[in-house]
Amino acid sequence: MELSYWEIKEWFNNVDYTIVGGGIVGLNCALQLKKRFPESNVLILEKGILPHGASTKNAGFACFGSISELVDDLENHTEEEVLSLVKKRWNGLQLLRKNLGDKNIDFQQNKGFELFQDKELLELCLDKKQQVNQLLSSVFHAPVFYESKNDFNFKNIESRYIVNTFEGQIDTGKMMQHLITKVQALGVKILNNITVKDIQDDNGFVHINTNLLSFKSNKVFIATNGFSKAILNEEVKPARAQVLITKPIKNLHIKGTFHLDRGYYYFRNIDNRILFGGGRNLDFDAEETTEFSLTNLVQNKLEEILKTTILPDTDIEIEHRWCGIMGIGNQKKSIVKPISNNVFCGIRLGGMGVAIGSLIGEELADLI
C-alpha cells in the first residue's frame, strides 16, 4: 500500500505506543498511557470496523461470579485465590463505572439470579452459601448470596434459586461508544480494518507488519484476547459465545441478570427484550474457534429453553442473532506480562471482559 506524505507524517511517524486490539483492554491501555504520558503519540490498530472480539458483542453482565461458579472454583483453588479473583472483578467493575459514569453505560444493579435444573447442585450451593458469603465479606461487607423462591415463574427449574445482591448490568454499546469517545478526545488515534501479521522487537524499536503496510513503534501492547494465537505463543484459546435477542415483549416482567446450568446459559432484560446466550457446553470443540458464525445446535437449544423455561406462555419473535469470541485458558488468571523488552500483552480475560477489562488495560500500560 502506497501512503501519502500526509498519511505517513500524521499516523505512522514517531509512534511512541502502538496498541494491537481496540476492545475494552486496548482502549483502557490507551487511556492509562495518556494519563501517564499526555504528550505521547498513541496509536490503536483494530482488526474490525468495530472491536472484533467480544467487547461490542458481550451480554452486558456486570458480574463477578455466580454461586455455582464460585463453589466450583473452591474445589480447584484455595480460598485466597478465589477471593483474589472476585476482588479483581469487583474492583474492575468499580473502575469501569468511575471512568465512564453509570449513566453513560446505563449501569443498573438489578441483582443476579442463578436458576437450577439439578437439585443436587442447588443443595450443594445452598450448603456452601454461608462459607462463600463469609469469604467475600471483606470485599462487600454484607452477605452476597441469599435464597429466594421462583418469583419470575420460570418453568422446568427447581422452585428455589439463589440471588446475588450485588450483580448488575450495563449497555455494552453505550459503554464502548463512550470509551472510544473518551480515548479519542485525549488524542489517541484509532485505525480500523487493519490486521497485524507480525511483530519484531529490534530492541531500539518494534517493527509492525500489517495486511496494509509496515511501520515501527517504540513500544507495542497486545490486547487481542481470543485472537492472540495469531501473533503470540501464549496459553490462551478462543471460545465462541452465541447470543440471540427477542423483539420487544409487552409487559415483560423479567428484570435482572440470570444464570442457568452452571452459567453455561445466561439471559437478561434489555429494552423490553430478552437477551439470551450460551450453549458452548453443547460442543466445546466446535466453539473453540475464531470463526464468526452461528450453529443450529446452539441456536435451536437457546430457542427451546427460551420457550419452555424463560417465557413459556409468551409469544416470542427473535430479532437478532450474533456471536463473540472470548479468550480462555487452563487458568482463570489473565496473562499480563512483557513478551520482550518493548512488547507487552494483556490477554486471556476468561469471559470476564466487562468486569476486568478496565483493570487489565491499566495493568498492561503500567508494565512500562
Beta strands in 150-299 (DSSP E): 160-164, 168-169, 189-191, 196-201, 206-210, 214-222, 237-246, 257-260, 265-270, 273-278
CA atoms within 13 A on the CB side of 362: 11
In a domain, 245, yes or no: yes
What is the CATH classification number for the domain harbouring 30? 3.50.50.60
Same domain, 68 and 163: yes
Same domain, 133 and 185: no
- pLDDT tens, 259-304? 999 999 999 999 999 999 999 999 999 999 999 999 999 999 999 9
pLDDT of residue 39: 97
331 pLDDT higher than 80: yes
Residues 6 or more apart whose CB falls under 8 angstroms from that of 21 comprise 44, 45, 46, 47, 51, 52, 53, 222, 223, 224, 225, 227
Scanning the structure block, which residue is given the C-alpha cell 490503536?
44
Same domain, 134 and 160: yes
1 pLDDT higher than 80: no
Do β-strands 42-45 and 189-191 pair in parallel, antiparallel, or remain unpaired? parallel
In a domain, 54, yes or no: no
- Reported as a pLDDT band with limits 50, 70 and 90, residue 64 is very high
- pLDDT tens, 218-254? 999 999 999 999 999 999 999 999 999 999 999 999 9
Q: CA 234 to CA 337: how far, in whole Å?
A: 11
Domain count, the chain: 3
Domain end (from 149, 170, 191): 170
Same domain, 157 and 179: no
Same domain, 143 and 89: yes
- Domain range for 110 is 61-170
Q: CA 282 to CA 298: how far, in whole Å?
A: 7
- pLDDT tens, 183-210? 999 999 999 999 999 999 998 899 999 9
Same domain, 214 and 337: yes
Same domain, 161 and 180: no
Same domain, 208 and 341: yes
In a domain, 150, yes or no: yes
